Structure formats: C-alpha cells, structure tokens
Amino acid sequence: MNRKRRPPRADRAPRTVEHGRPQRALIKGQDRSRWTDVYHGVLTAPWWAFFAGTAFIFAAVNTVFALLYRADPRGIDHARGFWDYFLFSVQTIGSANYTVMLPRSIYANVVVSVEAFFGILNLALVTGVVFARFSRPFARVVFSKVALITPFDGVPTLMFRAANQRANQILDAAVTVSLARQMGTKEGIVMRRFEELSLVRARTPLFALSWTVMHVIDEASPLHGVTSKSLYDSQIEIIVLLRGTDDTLADIIYARHSYMPDEILWDRRFVDVLALTPSGRRIVDLHRFHDTEPLSS
C-alpha cells in the first residue's frame, strides 16, 4: 500500500483524535475550580496512575496515623518503633484482627476510633470509584486505517469503513463526519474551521457487521475540487464520531477516529471482508479489514 510522504511535523496541524481518543490540549490560566474536579481526574486517569495514586494515599494516611500513635509512647502495647506504629495503623484501617499490639491509653483508643471511622469511609469511596471506572461504557469499534477518495457510481466519493468487534448489535447507530481545515478570511485571519459532511447513510437501525460510510464529493461538498496537494496545504483532518446503544450494556457508547492527509488514498477500493459459512452465518474478516486494492483489479 503506497502512501504519500508525511510532511514535517511543523507543517501539520495537531491531530484532533489520536487512537480513538480526543487529543487533550494544554490549558493555561485555569481558575481555582480545577482543584475541585478530582472525580473527573480519577475517572480519566490511566489504571497504573489510579493504583499508584491509591497506594500513595494509603501509605500517606497510615504514616500520619503512625505519627499520631507515636505521640503516646505507652499508648500501644509492644510497639517499639515507627514501623510497629505503621503496621498497627494498617491493621486498624484494614479492620484486621490484632495480635500482639493493643491500644491501652485513652488517647490511643480515640485515635483508633477516628482511624476506624476513616477506614469505613475510605473503603466505601474506593469501592465506588473502582465500580465507576469499571462500569463506564466503551465501544470496541474498529475503523479502517485509511480513507479513500475514489469514484462511486461515477462520482468522486470519500469513504471509510467501521466494524463492531464485539459481534453484538449497536442499536440506532449514527455517524457524524466533520472536515477540519485551515482557512483564511478576507482580513487575513487564519483559523481552523469545522464543517459537517453530508453522508449517503448517516444512521442504521442495527450495526453488527461492517459499515462503509460514504460522502459524495459533488458541487455542494466542502471537498469539491480537492486534490492530494490541497489536502496537505489546508491541513485537512476528517473527524469521525460514531454513537449508538449497545444491546448488551443497554447504554450509549461512542467511538472516535480521524484521518490525516497521509491516511487518505486515491483511486482504490476496499477488499471485501464479508462472507458466509456453510451453515449460513455471516463472517467479517477483520484480518483484511484495512486492505485496499487498485480499481482495475
């Protein structure tokens, strides 16, 4: 598969969607409310960062309570150093059965009561956050690695395809395709403009197999008269958003993708990936899902 050479990074607009996820921008000048948006940060953090942060908080909390226990040297039986106090705190917050170390003084028992209450709240909070992370619906929709601009019924047409890797059904699926490009005004102001592309079929009641999404490049299309060179000159990006209701999760799922100029091929067609088994079941061969071939073949 031959692709156009990608221009230098400095000449290209940043990709809006990277590997199915929106590319996050660096925001400066945020107000103080960003520090209250902890829940969103916890839900969107990578799993390794979530567990690392949870472990750090666990260690920090137990360190604080260990120092509180240490303030009363005779409050805990058989505790001889900071490590013993730390282990006693871990046992308390984890509701573990005590063995040798026991709280004796009034001060130590008060701290134990406070830590036990904190442990109940902490367990409920962590359980809720973990459940929220696991229960977030997500799609397993694969998009073709390339989009095509090729004749279809004698008219140039932009097309790409999508498939549901779960092999279940996405109900009332809808796809939106937008064109992002650099445009200048008469005043010489250059800005990035977004225009929605009309589709041959933008909705389907059942999305279970493969779906070829097509936009006819006629005189009304923002892509009318486009060439391979103008794709790069305008820093074009084709942005795709697919949404629908997963019939297993019974929840709305979303999938995103985008195509840059070097991911758009001309005058080719997708290889057929649909077939039937001897028993009559349909097969979608994802091994060849991204393959294309010349129109003449």
pLDDT tens digit sequence for 161-203: 999 888 788 999 999 999 998 887 777 778 888 999 999 999 9
Confidence of residue 264 (pLDDT cuts 50, 70, 90): very high
- More confidently predicted of 229 and 13: 229
User: And the tokens for 152?
Assistant: 């279809």
Q: 141 with 240: CB under 8 angstroms?
A: no
Domain region containing 74: 32-135
Residues 167 and 288 in one domain: yes
Grade residue 11 by pLDDT with cuts at 50, 70 and 90: low
- Residue 73, pLDDT > 50, answer yes
Indicate the length of the chain as a whole number: 297
End residue of a domain, out of 120, 135, 150: 135
pLDDT at 136: 81
Find the DSSP H helices in 45-145: 47-70, 82-93, 106-135
Please report whether residue 280 resides in a domain. yes
261: its two tokens: 């100029």
Q: What is the pTM of this model?
A: 0.71
74 phi/psi in degrees, rounded to 5? -105, 10
Token pair belonging to 172: 């009332």
Using a pLDDT cut of 90, give the percent of the chain over it: 37
How remote is the C-alpha of 68 from its chain's centroid?
42
- Domain count of the chain? 2
pLDDT per position as a tens digit, 279-293: 877 788 888 889 999
Residues 73 and 100 in one domain: yes
